[in-house]
Amino acid sequence: MASGEGFPSSSLQADNLIHVFWDEGMLKHDTGTGVFDTGMDPGFLDVLEKHPENADRVKNMLSILKRGPISPFISWHHGRPALISELLSFHTQEYVNELIEADRNGGKEICGGTFLNPGSWDAALLAAGITLSAMQHIIDGHGKFAYALVRPPGHHAQPTQGDGYCFLNNAGLAVQMALDSGCRKVAVLDIDVHYGNGTAEGFYRSDKVLTISLHMNHGSWGPSHPQSGTIDELGEGVGFGYNLNIPLPNGTGDEGYGYAVHHLVVPAIEKFEPDMMVLVVGQDSSAFDPNGRQCLTMEGYRDIGRRIRGMADKYSNGRLLIVQEGGYHVTYAAYCLHATLEGVLNVSEPLLSDPIAYYPEDESFPIKVIEAIKKYQKETVPFLKDA
């Protein structure tokens, strides 16, 4: 349903629009308060903080797209909850049943920091269904660029378990929909500061999906996240070589990310030649995010969006799905989202200036790391040997 009540309309051509899918029902996912994401009240603090994955962060993303300079380029759409049968294209019945039972019993801490509270399951079904609606919009030819503004996030959710604030893998479900709808190959680029382990796990044994993750080098954080995100996690069987991890040193900023995209991401996508592209975005790679240790600014996000747009134009007939993940600085995350979408639109000049702007970056060490990753991939990944 396009141009819902209260949403600004646009007379611009469809190819110059970003079709944003959203529903306020996702705000009902209440993650609570405590010490950061623990939900713990130690009893000796007068002021507890909201869980980092709270509704306020997404409210600002919504408002900056409605009232910011990019608003004339936005077409608004509603989505719908995912069906249980749709979830089984990525997740196991046993895991889905676990979530349904947890909701029926009033909630559960799925794993550290990941709270399924009353209202969370309905929000998770909406997030999954809205992402599927956005992908269907592209598949049906109604627009080239669609953005699923969703929460709870999804890229850590694996086929058999939740992880890292995620219950259902929104992007993974959309990728499977694209394959089931006739797409030959789908490329997924994840720029959230944390490894997109769930999406990677879902397609780890497939040569139809190329998953690329740029993340800080954080390793495994326990049973819910057994994957390390290291360069040697390349896939298995026919999927060997189609999961490319790019763990970047803490402090990597605009120059380092740009170098990684140019020297690692672009050559891989050129060799893979996808007919659908998915950009998994998290603004927690920004210089000021409480949940990451990287140094991207608005210009870095804008550059990534521009580069992804170029690859989509070249290989997937411009078709690009963007799926929201992390980003926990309540105000700056919204600015970085705005910049990413400016890049996707390929605007000639920035529409919005950076209120924080410059953050110092020493790009020399990240470039050395990226060159080492490049050497390893060319020696190890069959389809990249002559890239």
How confident is the model over 316-373, as pLDDT tens digits?
A: 999 999 999 999 999 999 999 999 999 999 999 999 999 987 778 888 999 999 999 9
To 5 degrees, how large is the angle CA 184–CA 305–CA 364?
110
Percent of the chain scoring above 90 in pLDDT: 93
DSSP symbol at 288:
T
Q: How far apart are CA 162 and CA 277, in angstroms?
A: 24
Please report the pLDDT score of residue 176 as a whole number: 98
Residue 385: predicted pLDDT: 87
Spatial separation of the C-alpha atoms in residues 30 and 43, rounded to whole Å: 21
Locate 227 and state its tokens: 């994957």
Cα 288 to Cα 34, 108, 384: the distances in Å are 21, 31, 35
- In this model, does residue 1 exceed pLDDT 50? no
Q: What is the pLDDT of residues 146-161, one digit of tens each?
A: 999 999 999 999 999 9
Largest pairwise CA distance in the chain: 60
DSSP 238: G
Q: What is residue 78's three-state secondary structure?
A: coil
Q: What is the pLDDT of residue 14?
A: 53
Name the class of domain 18-38+47-351+363-380: alpha beta
Give, in degrees to the nearest 5, the angle at Cα 185 between 180 and 188: 100
Q: State the Cα–Cα distance between residues 294 and 329, nearest whole angstrom.
A: 13
* Tens digit of each residue's pLDDT (9 = 90 or more) over 38-51: 999 999 999 999 99
pLDDT in tens, 159-184: 999 999 999 999 999 999 999 999 99
d(CA 299, CA 278): 21
Tens digit of each residue's pLDDT (9 = 90 or more) over 212-271: 999 999 999 999 999 999 999 999 999 999 999 999 999 999 999 999 999 999 999 999
Alpha helices in the chain (DSSP H): 55-67, 84-87, 93-104, 120-139, 170-180, 197-202, 254-260, 266-272, 298-315, 332-345, 364-380
Of 307, 151, 279, nearest to 212 by C-alpha is: 279
Question: Residue 19: pLDDT band by 50, 70, 90 thresholds?
Answer: very high
Report pLDDT for 10: 36
Active site residues: 156
C-alpha pair distances (Å), 39 with each of 53, 106, 156, 284: 12, 16, 19, 20
Q: Mean pLDDT, the chain, as a whole number?
A: 95
